[in-house]
Amino acid sequence: MASYGYDWTEFPAGETLCCEKLTARVEAEPAIVKTLESVTVDDGSETVSFAFDEDLEGGEVTALDSLVAGFECETLAEMQARLIGEVDGITSGYLQDHYPSHDLDLWNALLTDAVASGLTNRAAYIGTLLAWAMSISTAYYASKAQAIAATSTKAEAEAVSFSYADCASQLDGTDPAVTIAAALAIED
């Protein structure tokens, strides 16, 4: 077995997906005809090693060198999608902390019933909750997602700041604090 190691500080420590992507790229490289046995990342020395069943020939080494030099574990589009997913998780978590999803289902049923029964004040009361939930999407999620999507480099995407605390600081105090008991008490 022949092993080839590379210094690679860009490799995210412990990223299994990155290893899988790199392995797939090496295995798909037509200039490398030897069998890739394994890809190993050593977080301590920040190296990545490739073990082949045989020594590589000159052209194969050149192909491996080029592949490693040009490899990106995560493209900009993948990073943007991951970060936008994280923002979605934060905003969903914030909403869930105030109104759990099982309560939101009940709120939707109460609103539907209020509208069908002509209880306009009850519908308006419940509507404040739904409007607030939508404002979270507009005020925080959409603004952060748009900022991430508008980036043209990974550094710019990583620089868009977002956190649960940031979300809460922007949205706390806007919660309409509606209750199911209060909604049911409204009879018109």
CB 181 within 8 A of CB 104: no
pTM score, whole prediction: 0.65
Model confidence over 92-124: pLDDT tens digits? 899 889 888 888 889 999 999 999 999 999 999
Please report, for residues 15, 126, 178, the alpha-carbon distance to residue 109 in angstroms, rounded to integers and kept in the order given. 44, 10, 15
pLDDT at residue number 45: 64
Tokens for 110, please give them.
């109460």
Strand order in the sheet with 2-7: 2-7, 47-52, 36-42
Least confident window among 28-32, 71-75, 181-185:
71-75
Share of the chain above pLDDT 70, in %: 93
Q: How confident is the model at residue 149, as a pLDDT?
A: 94
Q: Which domains can be identified in the chain, with CATH numbers?
A: 2-70 (3.30.70), 76-185 (no CATH)
Which tokens is 83 given?
Answer: 């970060």
User: Who's near 29: CB < 8 A, 6+ residues apart?
Assistant: 63, 64, 67
